[in-house]
Every structure is written in C-alpha cells, then in structure tokens.
C-alpha cells in the first residue's frame, strides 16, 4: 500500500512522470534548481530512496543511473484514494463526504470515468432497491458500510457456497 510521497519526493516524481522517459539525477537537479536551491547529493538521495521504495527503476549508464517511473501518476493517485477509503471506519460516509467536496469539473471527470469503466449515470439502470424498514439515516456519517468482500475474490463455484468447487467422486 502506498504512502503519500514527501514534498521533495513528489517534486522529483512529478518530473519523472511528466517527462515520461528515463531521466538522470542531473536532469532532475537542473530542473528543480529553477525553483529552489538544492544540492546534487540531495536529489541523488531522494531518487535512490524512490528506487528503494519501488517508485522508480534504474539502469546504469556509464557512471550514472537513468530512472524510469514504475507506474503513472494516475495509478499513484488512485492507490492513495483507495488506501484512504479502505481505512475509513465508514467507507460509504467517506465517499459521500468526498463527493460533497468535488468541484463541477471533478464531478464531470467522475462521470467520464464511470462511462469508461462501463457504468452509466443511472438513467438506464434498474431502479434502486427499496431501503430496509427502520428509521432513516440522519446524516452521511450514519450511512451503512458496504460488505467487506473485496473485488478480487472469486465467486463461489456453482453448487458450492464455500467457493471450493465440486470435488470429483463426492
């Protein structure tokens, strides 16, 4: 699970992601020096740390290394959002609060993302099931948690609720 990058790590990774090619410490240093005073050894240490953490891979080229991002910024952002959401004690309420913070442009991007992954805006979907009987939820904080199953779990084999499949001869 990723943890957020520090400020300097993010500045370095931003360049690696933007340039989308193998980069050297010297290239990153020269670009960073346009914004701040920073030493070569500091950038070298940060890039080595990013390599140790698995954010970049490196290949030797002469006496230097060329660093390449292991994943995209979008994948990094998605992993951070998933980590934050999955650690919530009430994931549904966290989503409600998150959606409430979104700008119009972010909501448009969310709708686009739903279309890309095959969800629609609900206009063609089946009607939502009726809520269970009982008192209505009073706030986003009281939204019920979704089931704990993860999307990577395989559905049970037909005829076997434990998911082990039918064994021959039984």
Strand partners, 60: 65
Query: Cα separation of 31 and 26, whole Å?
Result: 9
Helix, strand or coil, per DSSP, at residue 133: coil
> What is the average pLDDT across 53-74?
94
Query: Cα separation of 130 and 133, whole Å?
Result: 9
For 21, half-sphere exposure in the C-beta direction (CA atoms, 13 angstrom radius) is 4
Query: Cα separation of 90 and 144, whole Å?
Result: 7
> What is the average pLDDT across 86-115?
92
The confidence band for 121, taking pLDDT boundaries of 50, 70 and 90, is low
Answer whether residue 135 shows pLDDT above 50: no
Query: Cα separation of 79 and 72, whole Å?
Result: 11
CB 9 within 8 A of CB 48: no
CB 56 within 8 A of CB 67: yes
> What is the average pLDDT across 143-159?
40
Answer whether residue 150 shows pLDDT above 70: no
Residue for token pair 């910024």: 73
Helices 7-19/40-53 angle, 10° precision? 80
* pTM of the predicted structure, to 2 decimals: 0.58
Strand partners, 64: 61
Strand partners, 56: 69
Strand partners, 57: 68
């Amino acid at each position: 699970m990723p943890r957020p990058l520090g400020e300097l790590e993010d500045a370095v990774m931003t360049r690696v992601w933007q340039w989308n090619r193998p980069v050297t410490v010297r290239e990153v240093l020269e670009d960073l020096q346009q914004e701040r005073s920073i030493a070569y050894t500091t950038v070298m240490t940060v890039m080595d740390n990013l390599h140790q953490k698995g954010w970049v891979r490196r290949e030797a080229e002469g006496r230097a290394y060329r660093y390449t991002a292991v994943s995209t910024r979008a994948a990094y952002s998605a992993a951070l959002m998933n980590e934050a959401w999955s650690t919530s004690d009430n994931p549904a309420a966290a989503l409600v609060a998150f959606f409430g913070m979104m700008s119009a442009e972010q909501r448009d991007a969310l709708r686009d993302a739903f279309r890309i992954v095959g969800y629609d805006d609900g206009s063609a979907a089946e009607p939502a099931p009726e809520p269970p009987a009982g008192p209505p939820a009073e706030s986003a904080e009281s939204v019920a948690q979704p089931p704990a199953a993860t999307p990577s779990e395989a559905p049970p084999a037909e005829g076997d609720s434990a998911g082990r499949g039918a064994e021959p001869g039984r």
